[in-house]
Structure 1
């Protein structure tokens, strides 16, 4: 109910502007999370478990299980541009996040350019000037006689300006391997981030779809987009 003032009507001639204002004016709620809408807190954003199994080419492949993921800094996001079409159910948004801190426990196998990946432990990274451009569309489906929205397509482009990481091996005897990965990344952050970018984008698209569908399922389409 407390979000109703921020709803946008399909008939609004300045629909995109309304959606942008709605985002900006409801930031406090979004940052803390809205349990009634299954919306997790944005800052910190926490995820108990995430798996990644992607191969880009013979030089870049990652098979990882990530646990206890915690991201701080999302509340500083700046919305650079937003467009939404209430008739076609499409939209796109450009966002800049000045700083993010990411911590998690990890178990990874794979290949990162010249570095073989075989490590388990704790990861911490600081990343600056992350640029995100997300395009998406929704489609309707019926449930219990009512129409609901779900994600039809989502496509992200993400560039991280800079980053620095630290890996701490679960087994102290394997710390040398963790240090090698840490050193390689910190000496070549641009090269490494560009190499793993396709994997990062795929994982981000999957996460956006899962979280969005979870949120959209809480209310009928007519509540999200009244006439």
Structure 2
């Protein structure tokens, strides 16, 4: 009788533990010889949940991925051309594929991951000042960009906080195979200024991307770290494992 009761209690405990594991978590076995591959699968399992957001843990949707502002000095001199981007919406962040991953050690070796995103689309408001191609080009309007073949190399460190994991630091290095940028609804639709600006952006996309990259990487790292910790502080480490 006692053995039967213990068995029933054990089964109920297993059931409760499984029931408490959120749908967005795909647990792995600690003894899995392909543990890294399992974690990669678990991260990719998260994609639709990240895209739509997870209200029960107050994790916002990453489609679109919201960013505040970037300031780009594109030409030198006292009247150098400067663009400020604000209210940036980045589309395509959740359409990621994890190419590789190296697990870290809490308080020790950093974790590393390489993530590929086929296409990122950026929509933003912009203001500009200075002279562009000998034409005064101060104004504002809508900024559009498409980045193709995006690779993000992530490096970070974690620590244990009780039964939860915390990302203490995170860095992101981006590479982009192809970039297309343009503006619209600017300069009161002055055709000459619009065409001059779009010509500059088209012919100098690599320069604009380089000017953007450092700030963009820092802001992405901060936002990615914030999202990761919002998830991790709501899911005990034990729920990432089946054993």
Q: Give the TM-score range, shorter chain.
A: 0.7 to 0.9
Q: Decide whether the 8 Å contact of 1:56 with 1:198 is kept in 2.
A: no
Residue 23 of structure 2: aligned partner: 3
| Aligned equivalent of 1:103 | 123
2:154 maps to 1:138: no
Match of 2:97 in 1: 78
Aligned to 1:199: 215
Q: Is the 8 A contact 2:111 2:155 kept in 1?
A: yes
Contact 2:70–2:212 under 8 Å retained in 1:
no
**1:152–1:159 CA distance, 2 compared to 1 (3 A):** same
- Structure 1: tracts of 5 or more residues without a match: none
Q: Distance in 2 between matches of 1:56 and 1:211?
A: 31
**Map of 1:186 onto structure 2:** 202
- CA RMSD, Structure 1 to Structure 2 (Å): 3.9
Do the aligned partners of residues 206 and 25 (structure 1) sit closer, same or farther apart at CA in structure 2, a change above 3 Å counting?
Answer: closer
Shift of 1:136: 0.9
**Which protein has the larger Cα radius of gyration, Structure 1 or Structure 2?**
2
Over residues 35-71 of structure 1, what are the superposed CA-to-partner deviations in whole Å (9 max), with x where a residue is unaligned? 22333334x3242x5033577996899673511x333
**Which residue number corresponds to residue 129 of structure 1?**
149
Change (3 A) 1:184 1:219: same
Change (3 A) 1:106 1:63: closer
Aligned residues: 220
TM-aligned CA distance change 1:173 to 1:64, over 3 Å = same
Distance 1:56 1:108 in 2: 10
Q: What is the CA–CA distance in structure 2 between the aligned matches of 1:160 and 1:139, rounded to whole Å?
A: 31
Contact 1:119 1:174 in 2 (8 A): no
Q: Shift of residue 150 of structure 1?
A: 3.2
TM (normalized to structure 2)?
A: 0.69
TM-score, normalised to structure 1's length? 0.73
Partners of 1:61 and 1:225 in 2: CA distance? 53
